[in-house]
Copies of this chain bind each other. A is one copy, B any other.
Amino acid sequence: MQDEILANQLRALGHPVRLSILRILAQRQSDCCCADVTQCLPLAQSTVSQHIKVLLDAGLIARQARGTRNCYVLATDRLNEMNSAFGGLSELLLQPVEAKKDSAGVA
Contacts and interface: CB of A to CB of B under 8 A. Distances in A.
A19 interface: yes
Q: How large is the interface on A (under 10, 10 to 19, 20 to 34, 35 or more residues)?
A: 35 or more
Copies of this subunit: 2
A14 interface: yes
Nearest to A8: B14
Interface string A64-107: 00000000001010011011001101101111110000000000
A85 to B, nearest CB: 11
Contacts of A14: 7-14
A42 interface: no
Interface of A: 1, 3-4, 6-16, 18-20, 22-23, 25-27, 29, 74, 76, 79-80, 82-83, 86-87, 89-90, 92-97
